[in-house]
Structure 1
Amino acid sequence: MKKYIIVFLTCFAVLSCKTKKDPTPDPTPIPTPVPNSAKEILFFGFNENSGQSLDETKTKSSFTINGPVNSAERIVGVEGNALRVNGYYGWATGNAKVTYPTSQVCVTGWIAPAAFPVQRKDLDPITENTIAAIFSNINTTNSSGVALGINHHGRLIGQFKVGTELVQILSEKEIELKKWSFLSLNINAVQGTATLFLNGAKIKDITFPGGILAWDNNATIYIGKESKNKTIAGFETNGLSGAIDKVSVWDKNLSDTEILAQYTAVTPSEPILKIPTDVRFANDIHRPKYHLMPSAAWTNESHGLIYVNNKYHIFSQRNFNGPYLEHINWGHYVSDDLVSWNEKTQVLWPEPGFDEVGIWSGHAVIKNGEPFIFYTGVNKSRAGIGLATSTAPYDVWKKNANPIITNAPTSFANADFRDPFVFQNNSEWYMMIGTGLRNGTPRGGLFLYKSTGGDFTQWSLQGTMLEGNPSVDGTGDFWEMPIYYNFGSKAIVLINKLPNANALYWSGSFNGSQFVRDNAVPERLDVINQLLSPSIGQDSNGNLTAIGIIPDGVSSTKHKAQGWAHVFSLPRIWTLVNGKIKQVPHPNLLKLRGAVANFSNVSFGQSTSNVLNGASGSQYEVVATIDPGTATKVGFSINKNIVTNEQTLIYYDYSTSSFVVDRSKSSILTDVPLSNQSTNYVLPAGSVKWRIFVDASVIEVFVNDELAFATRSFPSTANNILDLYAQGGAANAIDLKIYNINGGGVASVSRGVNDKKETMHPTVYPNPSNANFNIKFNKKEDAVVYAYVFDIKGFPLKKIESVLNSENQTINWDGYMENGNKANEGIYIIKGFYNEELFDAKLIVN
C-alpha cells in the first residue's frame, strides 16, 4: 500500500476588489464656490487616509468612527476620499465647539447609498421615518437640532425644531442607488420656509409657523446615522449603507444659484461600493471561499434560478444594512457556469405601497425568452404578490405598479400567504402560494391561481392545490417556498414546513386543479435536515439544477462579529428515480479541483488515527469508496485539531441505520452550533461511495450518487486535519482521493475566474535583506496600493497601504510583522493591488 501525503494550506486570498480603507490620492481640490453671505461653520472632508477618526476642519474637532478596531473604510470620493458606512457600523460621532444660527441654516453633502436604510417591520410605526443622516445633531429628548439624510425608501428627509414645533420635510423623489447625489436643505426659521434640493435642483418646499431654530449646542453630532438609537438583536438599524463626502453646515441659507454651483463644481466618478471581501475578511477562517454567498451582511432564501442569454441568474433575500433579518431586498448574482458568481446591484427593494416593508421570496420564469420575477411584497398589514420585468442584461428590473394578487383569499381562513412559484402545465400557467390554513386543524397548504392574461398581471383563484395533514405527514402548520417540477412520467411538489423548518416533497401528478400525491407521507430532501428552500432551474444542458441555503446556526453576536450571515449550497443535479429525488454535485464543480492525493486499501479502526498521513486543509473535496468491514460506525473526522481536541464526526451508524453528524466537540468557541444531527436511513449492504466538500465552515456530503446533506462546523483554527473514523471493528477505504480546491469558484467577489489579469512583478531591493525592503513599480501614474505580506504558508503578517504619484513609485516593508515582532529568516510573499492591477513579489529575509 502506498500513501501520498498532501497538506492543504488555506491561503488568505488577497484583495479581489479595489479596497478596504483605500488610501486615495488627494488631488488638488477644485475650488468650490463660496457664497458671499453665508459662512461654513462645520465642514467634513473625509480626506484622512486611514484610522478610526476624522477631522472637522472648521473647528479642528476630531470625530470617532464607530466600529471594531481598524474597521474604518475609505473610498474615492467626489473630491479626495469619502467615508464608507456599512449600515450597522462605520458612522462618525463627536462634538464641535460651534454656535448654531437661530434664524437660517443650510446643510449640504454628498451621498452614494449602497442600499436604503432600515425601517423595522414590527417596531417602527409606518408613519415614522428612518432618518439615516449625513448630518444629525438632534437632542433625542427635546428634538432640538437639525438632521438631513434619506429615509428607508431613499427619499430626502430633513428634521428640525422651530420654537416648540417639530418640523419634518420629506421629498417624493427617490435618489439613485450606487450613484453620487448632492443633498441640500435650506431652513429659514423666521420666515417659516424649508426647501430640499437634489443635485442642485429644488424638489420640495414646505411652510410652517415662523420662529427661532432650537438647538442643543452640546448635542452629539452624527455623520452617517440618525441621532436616535434603534436596534434589532443588538444591531443598530438606522445607519447609512454607502459613502458620504463633503458635508457642510452653513450659517445662512444658500441661494438656488449657489446650491447649483456647489453641485456643478465637481464631477464625481462612479463610487466603488463593492465590498472588499478579500481584505475585510482576510482573517476570517469560517468564511467559505467557493460557495455562493453575498459579499457581506444578511441573506437567507435563494430564488429565481434562471438561465437566459448564456448566463445564470439567481436572486436571494438580502439585508444590505447588516447580518440580521429586516428590510429585505432582492440580491442578484450572475454566473457563466454555476461555479463562479459575481454579485450585482440589488434588483428589488421596498418602496411606498404594498411592498413598503420588504420584498420577500418568490420565483422567476422565462416565457417566450423573457424573464419575469414574482415576489411577495409586504406592508404593515398584509402580503401581496408583485411582478417585475427586465430586458438584457437583466441588471435593472421594473416593478408592476400594483400587486397582481392583492392579498390572501378571504374565502379560506389562513395565517398569511407568501412565496409564489409559477409553472406551466400544458399551455396554461399556474401559480402556487404557501400558506397556513386555519379552517379546522391548523395545517400547511398551497393556494392555486391560474393566469388569465398573457402578461401575467391577471390571475384567478382555483382553490387549494395541496393541503397538509400534520398528524399523519408531520408537515407542520405553515408551508413556505414551494416548488413544482414535472420530470415527465412523474412530478414533485416540495414545501418547506414550519415550525422546525424542513424541506419535504411528494411525487405525484398535477391534474390542472390539484396535486395528487403518490404517498401520504413526504420524503426528506436531505437525509439530514440542514439545507433549506432550494431554488430550481434548468442548466444549459437541460439538467434540473438546485441551489439552497445552508444556514449558519450561529448567534446574532457571532453574526455581528463576522459581518455576514448564511451561505448557499453548491449546485446540485436532481433526477427522479422511483419517486425519490436523487442529488449529485453539478458536473461543473469538477473545474474546482486542484492537486490530488491518492490513497488505496487504507485499513482503519477504533485504535488507528492519522491514516491519511496528516492531510489537512480548509477547502478540499474528498471522494472515497469505503467497505465498512466489521465496523459499526464508519465515516470521517473533519476539522480535527489534536491540540484543542476539536473534531466534527460524519459517519454512518450501522447499528442504528442512521447518518450522524457529531458536533459535540466541533469547536471550543462560543455562539456556534454544537448540537448533534442524525436521521434514520437504511443503506444497502456493501461499500459506500462518499463525496464530501469542505469549505471553511460548510460541509456538504453526497452518498452513493443519490443522497445529500449539509452541515456547519466552526473550529477555532484553520487548516485542520482530515482523518478516517471507525468504531466497533475495522473498515477499509478501497479508494480515496483528496482534491485541493483551487479557489476558482470564489463567489460574490468583484473578481471572478474569468476576470483574471496578468500579475505585475515589481522590483524588490535590497533582496535578500533583514529590513527595509523597497518594492518599486515601473509605472508613472498616481496609484493606490493596498497589500499584505504573507509567510510561505499563506498567513497574512503585515498590511501595507500607500499612495503613490508619478515621482514616487516605491512602497516599503521594514521587516516587522503586524504584532511588532521582527520577521524570522525565510521567504515571504507580498501580494496586493496597484490601483486595479494585481501584483506580487518574493521577499527573502536573511
Structure 2
Amino acid sequence: MSLLYDLSLNEGKGSVTKERIRGNLLPIEYVFNHARYKESCSPRWVTSALEGYALDFDGYSTYIKDESIEVNGSLTIVTLIAPRCFEACHGEVSTTIIDQLDKAGKKGFALSLYQHGEVQFEIGNGNRIDTFRSNEQLELFKKSFITVTFNHETNWISIYINSKRVMCELIDGFENADIPLSIGLNNTPFEISDIFKGGMFSGLVDFIRIYDEAWLSEKIQNNFICIKDKLSLDFQDIDLDENKLLDDIHRPQYHAIPPQHWMNEPHAPFYYKGKYHLFYQKNATGPYFSNLHWGHWTSDDLVFWKNEKTALFPQRGELTPSGVWSGSAAIGPKSIPYLFYTSANLAKDYNQGVAIARPKNLDDIHLVDWEMDDQSTITQTDKQGMPSQFRDPFVWKDDKEEIWYLIIGGGMEDKGPTAWIYASTDCENWQFKGDFFTVDSEDFPYLGTNWELPVLLPVSDDKGNTKYVFLFMSYFNKEEKYQVDTYFYLGQFDKENLRFIPDSLEPQLLDYGKFKFSGPSGFVDPVTNKSIVFSILQGNRNEQEEYESGWAHNAGLPIELYLENNELRMKPIENLVALRNKVLVNERDKPLVQINEKLKEISGKMLEVIVEFDHTEKLVGFECKKDPKNQEKTSLLYEKEKKQVWIDRSKSFLGREGDIQGGILDIDEGFSAHIYIDHSAIECYLNNKKMISSRAYPTLKNSDDISLIGEKDIIIKSMKVFELKSIWKKED
C-alpha cells in the first residue's frame, strides 16, 4: 500500500498549502486574499485536535486546484470534514469535497455531499458514470470521517461514514480522467448566476488522502477508533467567523447582521426567560439568495445581539426539502415557544405550507436547538388562490382569551392580494376562518398580485386609544412596472368576524426608501408592552460587489409603532441610547452657520444625529457620507412649501448614477430628523411621521463628514451628534 495523495491542510496560516506526496505548493483561492473593501487576509484556519488545523471553506470563494492524480487499480479516499450547510435548494445537485470527474469523457471520480447531507460518490469507466449515495446523512456542524473504497479486482464500491459501511455496490470498472483535481469546487459547477456558482463546499476540512488500495472494513474501523475521541468541535469554530468582516468599510457595525454571507427578513421575535430571540433568513454558503435556513440571534435588550447556532434548515422528505422560509413565533400553552415557518417543497404545485418547530431544551435560555415537525400544520387548498403563493405566517395571542390567531399571505387570480386567517386554542391545531383582508388589484395595482409577510399589531396613544396596523409587502407573481414595497393600513381588528377593517381604502408606505426597508415582522414586547417592528435594510449593490464583500443586507434598527392624533407614528426604540459612546455635538438655539462650524470637526462612520429646525419656509436638510471636497455626499432634504421630504443619492457614489427617494411630509412644526449612520446604512426618522431607509457606498475613504443644509441665519432649535459603538467585539 502507498499513499498517492496527502492534503493534510495543517499549515495553520496563509493562502498556500502543500500536497505532501508530489510536493506541490497549492494556492488556496479565497475572495479576501486580495480584498476590495477590507484588509486583505488569508482564509480561516481552525485549530483541530487531530492534526493541528482544519481549513475553513466559505462555501462560495474558497477552493484548491491541483494537477490530476493517476490511480492504477484500487483506491481509498479518506477525509475528515465538518459541513456548515448542504446544497438543498437547487434541485439534484451536490457540494464538492474532491472532484476529478470528466463528465464529458465519463471518466474519473468525485466525492461530494448530496442535497441534505447524503454522501455521494461518482465514478466513470469511459462509457458511463455511476452515482452512489448513502441513505444516511451527515450531521451539520459536526466532524464526520468519510471513507470511499474501490476494489479494482472485484469492482466493488463502498462508502463508510464514521467507519460504518452505508453503501456497497458493484460497478463495471474505472478509468482515470486527465483533468485538474479540485478541492471544494465542482469541476462542472451549476450556475446560480453570472457571478455565483453552486456546489461549493461550506465548512471545515481536516485532510483528504488517497491510497492505492481498497481498505478493508477492519482497517477503516481501526483508523476511526484512533481519531474518534478527537472529533469534538466548538460551534464557534464551525460557524462563520463574525470577526472576519469587521474592518469592511461599508458593513454596518451596530445593526444585527449575520457573521458573513447573505440574509433576508428578520422574523419571529419573542421574549423568553429574560432573552429576546430574533431569527432571519440565512444562506450559509455565500452572499446570494439561496439555501434558506433560519439564522438566530439573542439579546438582552434588542440592541446588542449574539449570533447563535442555525435554528432551522431544509430537511429531506416531503415537507421542507427546498428551504425553510419566513414565519413568526408565539409563546404557546405551558409557556412553550413555538416557531411557525413556511415549509417549501418546490416539487409540488401547492408547494408552501406552515409547519412548527419547538425547543429541544426549555431550560436553555438561548434555545439553540429546535425540533422540526415532519408534517404540515397548515396546507394550502385549491380554494386558496394562486398555487405557490401561500407563505409567511404571522401568529399572535388574544389579549384576553387562550386563543391564538394566524394570518398568512397570498393572492387570488382576477381579484387581488389577500391574507387568510386561522385560529387555534393550542398552537397545534388550526381552524381556517376565511379571508382576513383583501384588496382589488384593479383599484390598487401597485399592491401586487399577492402579499408577503403580513403583520398585525396594536398601536395605542397616550390616552389609551387603540387601533391596529396591518403591514405587508407587495409581491408580483408576474413582471410589473410597480416597485415592490412595504405598505400599511390603520384600522380595527373585528374579533367577532375575524376580519381587518381599514380606516381608509388607500394604504400608505411605511418607508420612502424604495424597498430599502422591507421584510417586516413584529411583536408586542412583553417587557414594555410596545409594538416593535423589525425589517431588512436592503443592500444596493450588484452581485460582483456582494461577491467581493462577502455579505449582503442587514437588519434595520428596531422601531416602535404608536398612535398619535389617530395617525401612525414611528420612532427608534428607546434602548438604542445604549449605543452612545460619546457626545460630539450638543447645541441649542444657534444659527445654522455656527452649527456647521462645529460640524467641520466631526466625521465618522457610526453616528447618531438628532436635529430640529425652527419654523422655516426655506429648503433645509442634512448632508452625510461627504468628503471634504464635496465630490461625494448623500443629502436629506425637506421643502415645506411642497410638503416633500427626500434623500438625494445622485452624488453618493463617484462614477455611478444615484436616485432620489422620498414622499409627502405634512407638518406644522419645524422639521426634525433623527438619523442613524452606520457605514453604508442610513436610517432617517422624520418628525416621527415618516421614515426613509437608505444606503450609500462612497468610493472615497474620507467621505465621512456631515453638515446642515439651509440659509445661514436659520435657527437650529437643537442639534445633537453622538459617536456610536459596535455591537460586535473584535478579537485582539
In structure 1, distance between residues paired with 2:452 and 2:67: 49
How much does 1:404 deviate?
1.5
For residues 537-564 of structure 1, the C-alpha deviation after alignment (integer angstroms, 9 at most, x for no partner) is 2332222222111101211111111110
Look up the match of 1:484.
Answer: 456
How much does 1:572 deviate?
1.5
- Superposed, 1:779-798 pairs within 5 Å as none
Identify the match of residue 105 of structure 1 among 72, 75, 85: 75
- 3-state SS in 2 of match to 1:236: coil
- 3-state SS in 2 of match to 1:138: strand
Look up the match of 1:359.
Answer: 324
- 3-state SS in 1 of match to 2:575: helix
Identify the match of residue 229 of structure 1 among 173, 189, 197: 189
In structure 1, distance between residues paired with 2:313 and 2:77: 28
Q: Is 1:383 aligned with 2:352?
A: yes
> 8 Å contact 2:108–2:125 — kept in the other structure?
no
> 8 Å contact 1:493–1:505 — kept in the other structure?
yes
One-letter identity of the residue aligned with 2:308: K
> 8 Å contact 1:113–1:178 — kept in the other structure?
yes
In structure 1, distance between residues paired with 2:600 and 2:449: 50
Look up the match of 1:75.
Answer: 46
For residues 164-199 of structure 1, the C-alpha deviation after alignment (integer angstroms, 9 at most, x for no partner) is 332222122221222211111122354343222111
Look up the match of 1:683.
Answer: 667
Quickly say closer, same or farther: Cα 1:602–1:142, change in 2 above 3 A: farther
Identify the match of residue 441 of structure 2 among 470, 482, 507: 470
> 8 Å contact 1:446–1:467 — kept in the other structure?
yes
- Superposed, 1:355-504 pairs within 5 Å as 355-368=320-333, 369-380=335-346, 381=348, 382-390=351-359, 391-392=361-362, 393=364, 394-410=367-383, 412-413=385-386, 416-425=389-398, 426-438=401-413, 440-441=414-415, 443-451=416-424, 454-456=426-428, 458-473=429-444, 474-487=446-459, 489-499=466-476, 500-504=483-487
In structure 2, distance between residues paired with 1:742 and 1:232: 37
- 3-state SS in 1 of match to 2:612: strand
> 8 Å contact 1:301–1:316 — kept in the other structure?
yes
Quickly say closer, same or farther: Cα 1:237–1:701, change in 2 above 3 A: same
In structure 2, distance between residues paired with 1:462 and 1:79: 60
- Superposed, 1:212-227 pairs within 5 Å as 212-216=173-177, 218-227=178-187
- 3-state SS in 1 of match to 2:578: helix
How much does 1:727 deviate?
4.5
- 3-state SS in 2 of match to 1:490: strand
Quickly say closer, same or farther: Cα 1:581–1:228, change in 2 above 3 A: same
How much does 1:513 deviate?
3.2
> 8 Å contact 2:294–2:312 — kept in the other structure?
yes
How much does 1:644 deviate?
5.9
How much does 1:307 deviate?
0.6
> 8 Å contact 1:136–1:226 — kept in the other structure?
yes
One-letter identity of the residue aligned with 1:238: G
> 8 Å contact 2:676–2:684 — kept in the other structure?
yes
Identity %: 24
In structure 1, distance between residues paired with 2:724 and 2:522: 25
- Superposed, 1:161-310 pairs within 5 Å as 161-162=124-125, 164-205=127-168, 207-208=169-170, 210-216=171-177, 218-233=178-193, 234-266=195-227, 267-271=230-234, 272-278=237-243, 280-310=244-274
For residues 390-425 of structure 1, the C-alpha deviation after alignment (integer angstroms, 9 at most, x for no partner) is 133211111111112233443545562111112234
> 8 Å contact 1:329–1:359 — kept in the other structure?
yes
- Superposed, 1:317-328 pairs within 5 Å as 317-328=281-292
Look up the match of 2:113.
Answer: 150
In structure 1, distance between residues paired with 2:128 and 2:513: 60
Aligned length: 690
For residues 595-651 of structure 1, the C-alpha deviation after alignment (integer angstroms, 9 at most, x for no partner) is 21222333237x9965523311111111222114352x1110101113361110012
- 3-state SS in 1 of match to 2:141: coil
Look up the match of 2:479.
Answer: none
Look up the match of 1:312.
Answer: 276
One-letter identity of the residue aligned with 2:676: F
In structure 2, distance between residues paired with 1:465 and 1:88: 42
Quickly say closer, same or farther: Cα 1:264–1:414, change in 2 above 3 A: closer
How much does 1:701 deviate?
1.3
Look up the match of 2:501.
Answer: 516
Quickly say closer, same or farther: Cα 1:326–1:642, change in 2 above 3 A: same
Identify the match of residue 626 of structure 2 among 623, 640, 646: 640
How much does 1:333 deviate?
0.7
Q: Is 1:604 aligned with 2:592?
A: yes
> 8 Å contact 2:419–2:451 — kept in the other structure?
yes
Runs of 4+, deviation exceeding 4 Å: 607-611, 727-730
Look up the match of 1:619.
Answer: 606
CA RMSD of aligned residues (A): 2.3
One-letter identity of the residue aligned with 1:377: S
In structure 2, distance between residues paired with 1:715 and 1:449: 47
Q: Is 1:564 aligned with 2:551?
A: yes
Quickly say closer, same or farther: Cα 1:478–1:111, change in 2 above 3 A: same
> 8 Å contact 1:113–1:240 — kept in the other structure?
yes
In structure 2, distance between residues paired with 1:643 and 1:153: 54
Query: Greater relative contact order (Cα 8 A, min sep 6): structure 1 or 2?
Result: 1
For residues 213-242 of structure 1, the C-alpha deviation after alignment (integer angstroms, 9 at most, x for no partner) is 1211x2211112332222223112111111
- 3-state SS in 1 of match to 2:259: coil
- 3-state SS in 2 of match to 1:616: coil
TM-score, normalization: structure 2?
A: 0.89
- 3-state SS in 2 of match to 1:115: coil
Look up the match of 1:5.
Answer: none
Q: Which moved more, 1:702-711 or 1:732-741?
A: 702-711
Look up the match of 1:760.
Answer: none
> 8 Å contact 1:618–1:718 — kept in the other structure?
no
Quickly say closer, same or farther: Cα 1:578–1:196, change in 2 above 3 A: farther
In structure 2, distance between residues paired with 1:71 and 1:624: 43
- 3-state SS in 1 of match to 2:120: strand
Identify the match of residue 86 of structure 2 among 103, 116, 132: 116
Quickly say closer, same or farther: Cα 1:408–1:695, change in 2 above 3 A: farther
